[in-house]
Amino acid sequence: FLMWAWRKNNSRAVFYLVALFLLSLSVSEVMSHFGNLKNANFYLPITRAWELLAGSLTAFCVRRNGVRSHGGLAMLGLLFVLVSLFAFDSKTRLPSLYGLVPVAGVVLIILFAGPKTLAAKILGWRYLVGVGLISYLAYLWHQPIFVFARILLLDLRPGDSKMLFLSGATLFLAALTWRFVENPFRDRATVSR
């Protein structure tokens, strides 16, 4: 459907994307109010599609208008992401309307953080870029590391020091994987298509 919409690139295709976005967001909001549906709400594609569709709609905007430089809107987006990072906790109903805060933040950053904006300079800081480069690998590593640690330690709720150590191990393994697996595979001179 997205490939069809991308090829069509017309207002009808965008209308369908917006309609699906609103339907998915509505379903996730309704389901977020029922505790017995919490897992279904988190894992079902219909309740998570709106987040992906927000990215799709953003791609359509960038395709039509490019990335604009608007420091205020880019910083507002960064603020939305930071607020959700520090204000949301395990009691926050997600996915739901609360999820609009970080998603809207990322959309604002993509649309308005031109190279000269403060938000782009902050996000372009080399240490943040480094974490970004290994973030998906950290996501892949964290689950087995944390699960095996809980099994080996017979501790379902490891303390802060153990969690800090496990997080450090996750980042270390992610960095090694990026350096010795992902990077070589992305080098076209080393690995052909």
Distance of alpha carbon 145 from alpha carbon 138, whole angstroms: 10
Distance of alpha carbon 31 from alpha carbon 94, whole angstroms: 10
Look at residue 68 and tell me whether its pLDDT is greater than 80.
Answer: yes
Average pLDDT over the chain, rounded to an integer: 93
CB 112 within 8 A of CB 158: no
Least confident of 53-62, 105-114, 145-154, 171-180: 145-154
Instruction: Give start and end residues of each alpha helix (H) in 32-99.
Output: 38-43, 45-65, 71-87
pLDDT (0 to 100) of residue 13: 86
The fraction of the chain above a pLDDT of 90, given in percent, is: 79
DSSP code string of 89-124: -TTS-SSSGGGHHHHHHHHHHHHHB-TTSHHHHHHT
Look at residue 156 and tell me whether its pLDDT is greater than 80.
Answer: no
- The pLDDT of 48-70, averaged and rounded, is 95
> Could you tell me the pTM of the whole model?
0.85
- List, in order, residues 6 or more apart from 39 with CB less than 8 Å away: none
Query: Could you report the per-residue pLDDT of 1-40, keeping only the tens digit for each?
Result: 888 888 887 888 889 999 999 999 999 999 999 989 999 9
Helix, strand or coil, per DSSP, at residue 84: helix
pLDDT (0 to 100) of residue 8: 81
